[in-house]
C-alpha cells in the first residue's frame, strides 16, 4: 500500500504557460504556480559555468551554432532561444540565474538539474558546480546518466542530493530513435540495448538477466540516490517478470519514471500502471494536466 502520493515533476520547466522549456521565465512561472519539483537541463561551458541547455549543440534550441561546451559564458548569454526554428526574445539562461530565483523562493521546492556531460568534466568544473549549489543544496538535486560524474560529486559533497539515469547502460529505444554516438551500441541477446557481457548471449530467463544487470548498475551508482528510468523500460521489465521498482525500494531508494504526458492516452495508462506498481515520481511536460488525468494519489 502506497504511503505517500506520487510526485509529478515539471520537465524542463514546462507546464501550463507559454514560456520556452529550460527558460528562466518558464522556471519562474512554475515556481509562481506552486510547483513542488521542477526539472531543468544544464550543460557545461568552456569557461566553467553551466548553461540551461540540453546540448550538445546550440542548433535547434538557440540561434547559435556549434558545440555548447566550446562556448564561453559571454558568447552564450548573447544568444536567444528558438521555438520551431523561430528566434524568440527569450535569452539563454544560466545556472546562476536559476539558483538566484530558487534562493528567493519562499516555499519548499526541489530544482532537479539534469547534468548532460557531453564533454569531460574535470575536478575543477565539478568543484565549481558543487560550490555553486552548496548554499541551496537542500533545494536542488543533480541528476545524470554519467555515473562517474555522480560519484565524483558525492566525493566532493556527501550531502548533495543526486539522481542516476541508467540509460547509457540499459535501454529499449527503437533503433531509428537512437543517437548512433550514444551508448549502449549493441542490441543484446535479450532484445535490450546493452553492451555488458551478460547481454552477449541468452544464459537464463530474462528476469534473471535483468536482476543481474541491475545489481551491476547498483554498484556503479552512488548509494542513496533517486533512480530516473525511462517509463517504457520499467513497464517492459515488469512484463518480463522483473519488478525494478520493488528491487530499488528494497535497497532504500525512490524511482522516477520519465517522461509521460497527459496529451497521449497511452502515457496516461502507463502512468496508472506504474503508480499501481509503486513508482514514486513521474516526470511530465504538464504536471497539472497529468494530475487531472490521474485523479487521486498524485501531487505536484
Give the residue among 79, 294, 61 at the shortest CA–CA distance from 282.
294
State the pLDDT at residue 92.
97
Q: Is the Cβ–Cβ distance between 62 and 82 less than 8 Å?
A: yes
Q: Is the Cβ–Cβ distance between 271 and 277 less than 8 Å?
A: no
| Measured distance CA(86)–CA(222) in Å, rounded | 41
How much of the chain, in percent, has pLDDT values that exceed 70?
97
- Give the pLDDT confidence of 220-272 residue by residue, as tens digits: 999 999 999 999 999 999 999 999 999 999 999 999 999 999 999 999 999 99
Torsion region of 67: left, alpha or beta (phi above 0 gives left; psi -120 to 50 gives alpha): beta
Kindly tell me if the per-residue pLDDT of 89 is higher than 60. yes
CB-based contacts of 241-248 (< 8 A; 24+ apart in sequence): 241/205, 241/206, 241/207, 242/206, 242/207, 242/210, 242/211, 242/214, 243/277, 244/210, 244/214, 245/274, 245/277, 245/278, 245/279, 246/277, 246/278, 247/211, 247/214, 248/214
Give the residue among 183, 179, 217, 180 at the shortest CA–CA distance from 198.
217
Residues 6+ apart with CB under 8 A from 22: 12, 13, 40, 41, 52, 53, 54, 61, 81, 93
What average pLDDT does this structure show over 9-30?
Answer: 92
Strand (E) or helix (H) holding 1: none
- Give the pLDDT confidence of 138-173 residue by residue, as tens digits: 999 999 999 999 999 999 999 999 999 999 999 997
**Which structural domains are found in the chain, ordered by start?**
1-161 (3.20.20.190), 169-300 (no CATH)
Q: How confident is the model at residue 2 (pLDDT cuts 50, 70, 90)?
A: low
| Measured distance CA(110)–CA(36) in Å, rounded | 6
Pairing of strands 162-164, 226-230: parallel
Does residue 56 have a cis bond before it (omega within 30 degrees)?
Answer: yes
| Measured distance CA(5)–CA(45) in Å, rounded | 37
What average pLDDT does this structure show over 107-115?
Answer: 94
| Residue 138, all three cell numbers | 537542500
Amino acid at each position: 500500500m502506497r504511503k505517500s502520493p506520487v510526485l509529478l515533476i515539471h520537465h524542463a520547466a514546462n507546464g501550463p504557460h507559454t514560456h520556452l522549456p529550460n527558460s528562466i521565465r518558464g522556471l519562474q512561472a512554475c515556481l509562481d504556480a506552486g510547483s513542488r519539483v521542477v526539472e531543468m537541463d544544464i550543460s557545461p561551458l568552456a569557461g566553467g559555468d553551466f548553461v540551461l541547455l540540453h546540448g550538445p549543440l546550440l542548433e535547434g534550441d538557440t540561434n547559435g551554432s556549434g558545440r555548447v561546451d566550446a562556448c564561453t559564458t559571454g558568447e552564450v548569454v548573447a544568444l536567444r532561444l528558438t521555438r520551431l526554428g523561430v528566434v524568440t526574445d527569450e535569452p539563454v539562461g544560466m545556472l546562476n540565474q536559476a539558483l538566484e530565483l530558487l534562493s528567493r523562493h519562499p516555499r519548499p521546492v526541489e530544482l532537479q538539474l539534469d547534468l548532460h556531460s557531453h564533454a569531460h568534466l574535470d575536478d575543477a568544473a565539478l568543484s565549481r558546480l558543487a560550490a555553486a549549489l552548496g548554499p541551496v543544496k537542500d533545494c536542488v538535486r543533480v541528476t545524470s546518466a554519467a555515473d562517474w560524474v555522480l560519484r565524483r560529486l558525492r566525493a566532493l559533497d556527501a550531502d548533495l542530493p543526486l539522481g542516476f539515469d541508467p540509460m547509457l547502460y540499459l535501454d529499449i529505444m527503437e533503433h531509428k530513435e537512437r543517437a548512433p554516438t550514444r551508448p549502449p551500441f549493441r542490441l543484446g541477446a535479450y532484445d535490450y540495448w546493452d553492451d555488458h557481457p551478460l547481454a552477449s548471449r541468452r544464459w537464463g530467463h530474462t528476469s534473471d538477466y535483468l536482476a543481474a544487470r541491475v545489481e551491476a548498475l547498483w554498484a556503479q551508482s552512488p548509494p542513496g540516490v533517486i533512480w530516473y528510468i525511462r517509463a517504457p523500460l520499467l513497464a517492459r521489465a515488469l512484463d518480463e517478470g522483473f519488478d525494478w521498482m520493488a528491487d530499488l525500494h528494497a535497497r532504500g531508494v525512490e524511482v522516477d519514471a520519465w517522461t509521460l504526458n497527459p496529451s497521449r492516452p497511452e502515457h496516461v495508462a502507463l502512468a496508472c500502471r506504474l503508480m499501481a506498481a509503486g513508482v514514486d515520481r513521474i516526470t511530465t511536460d504538464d504536471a497539472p494536466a497529468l494530475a487531472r488525468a490521474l485523479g487521486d494519489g498524485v501531487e505536484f
